[in-house]
A and B are shown apart, each in its own frame.
Chain A
């Protein structure tokens, strides 16, 4: 899939933003490119990019997270030197918290991001997520995110999944929804994501993703 040197990943709560961000970072690093991931999620208490510290460390991917992420302190304190990160070169991925509430944390960086030429802000959709099952609902949440952070999206990523129960049929049944959502949003569909074996042959812009970290009970 195509993306900018600076890629901001947003979406409805639970649409799979973190998994997409992790996959992009791993692929960028595998291509020999310098990559930095910024976990800007101030909403989720667990299951976040900061969980991927070891995976990133092994691959030389730099990670910035809220100061108290994964601690018992429930304070969304952010200390992200975005300007110096951007000036250091390499690719930068910003994993934003869900919905407009999560995107609020992004707003303070809007002047910097809007002034950065090679940037993308990708809106992740999952038609199996409650409250965004209809294209109109998905676009409404997208607009709320834009109002909240003051940055416009540049593309849609279809990440429709049913977690461990995802099959090619699951993804195929989401293609029309994704196409309609992109049309309604007036944005290009940048990718159709699916795990290996679940990608339909006719999926537009296929991007095969991995589950890099297993659930605790699967170990």
Chain B
């Protein structure tokens, strides 16, 4: 590992993308993720990559569609309202089985909402974003270092399963500064090698490849979708990740992801100091949701508490994952308000967590 740098979450996302060989970035500025574009506008030309500020979010995602079709690693980033604009393109990319990485640094919604941190895009992102039968991979980091690591992983998983992968962060993670380390490896820009499906020009050396999401016959479309769902089953078997802290003997397990997981961890640390048996479980992959890992974490718990910066969008996924085997309660703040560890601790106590 090289010497550490002090970086903003957004900068770490951007640098990690370069280091994953992301050759093309297409974006459009929006708070609180504009540093990603600002950073790449400075760095991309120095490493032989392309930085392009598109005329809109819709244009940017369609540039990603075209670029991904040529087999080159590419990325776009935005924040909540901008992701809504990209949703059509994401559906087309999934329908054409193309790998790419999309960053969503969430802010308050609905509508223009606000620029403060939020997790209210959970439904939107984990349920596929656009129209049609499909899933996308969703990774939820909770530190600046993990922001970087998740970008690398997102590119690898996107290529492996030929589908879009999203790194779902929030404004707090995007704007906070923490030390981060990257390995010393030289930056190598991606090309279409190992991607026999890529439409990248072949001088009649092979049969041409077609990138498309339109199928003229219904049975043909159904067969394509079913093949895709076989891949999703593989992903759900192989790729879930969740991190459990103090869950083995916990009476109350708090489930939270992203920056909220850090606030929950602070509350649980304080609860433990006060003799309250609380634990925290953090899903790192939101699709695939870490069902087995969550079940193991709550095995000995009496109750589960979901904490989010939303009105409780993850609650149903938690209930389904544990088959409603324990009571699931919720605490959250929304609209850009960040839940305080003291508020989470008060909720743990209200649920009967006492010493």
Residues of B within 8 A of A74 (CB): 31, 115
- Report if B254 contacts A (CB, 8 A): no
When A and B form their complex, what is the total count of cross-chain residue pairs whose Cβ atoms lie within 8 Å?
74
- Report if B178 contacts A (CB, 8 A): yes
Q: Is the CB of A128 within 8 A of B6?
A: yes
Q: Is the CB of B179 within 8 A of A165?
A: yes
Report if A216-B114 is in contact (Cβ < 8 Å); known contacts: A14-B6, A165-B4: no
User: How far is A216 from B175 in the complex, measured between Cα atoms in Å?
Assistant: 13
Query: In the complex, what's the smallest C-beta–C-beta distance from B55 to chain A, in angstroms?
Result: 19
- Report if A1 contacts B (CB, 8 A): no
Write out, one digit per residue, whether chain A residues 11-39 have a CB within 8 A of any chain B CB (1) or not (0): 00110000000000000000000000000
Q: Is the CB of A46 within 8 A of B179?
A: no
Enumerate A173-219 residues with CB–CB distance to B below 8 Å: 215-219
Write out, one digit per residue, whether chain B residues 1-40 have a CB within 8 A of any chain A CB (1) or not (0): 0011111100100010000000000000001100100000
Q: Is the CB of B341 within 8 A of A217?
A: yes
Q: Could you say which of B92-100, B190-198, B225-233, B261-269 contacts chain A?
A: B261-269
Q: Is the CB of B179 within 8 A of A162?
A: yes
Report if A46-B32 is in contact (Cβ < 8 Å); known contacts: A72-B115, A130-B11, A218-B266: yes
Residues of A within 8 A of B176 (CB): 47, 215
Query: In the complex, what's the smallest C-beta–C-beta distance from B262 to chain A, in angstroms?
Result: 4
Residues of B within 8 A of A164 (CB): 178-179
Residues of B within 8 A of A158 (CB): none
Q: Is the CB of A128 within 8 A of B5?
A: yes
Report if A14-B8 is in contact (Cβ < 8 Å); known contacts: A47-B175, A163-B179, A219-B341: yes
Q: Is the interface of A mostly helix, strand, loop or mixed?
A: loop
Query: In the complex, what's the smallest C-beta–C-beta distance from B148 to chain A, in angstroms?
Result: 12
Q: Is the CB of A46 within 8 A of B266?
A: no
- Report if A10 contacts B (CB, 8 A): no
- Report if B223 contacts A (CB, 8 A): no
User: B interface vs A, CB < 8 Å?
Assistant: 3-8, 11, 15, 31-32, 35, 42, 108, 113-117, 171-172, 175-179, 259, 262-263, 265-266, 336, 338, 340-342
Task: List the 4 closest A-B pairs by CB distance, nearest first.
Answer: A72-B114, A217-B262, A162-B179, A128-B6
Q: List 16 other contacts, CB 8 Å, given A72-B113, A126-B6.
A: A13-B35, A46-B116, A46-B171, A46-B175, A47-B175, A47-B177, A72-B115, A130-B15, A131-B42, A133-B5, A162-B6, A163-B178, A165-B4, A216-B340, A217-B262, A218-B266
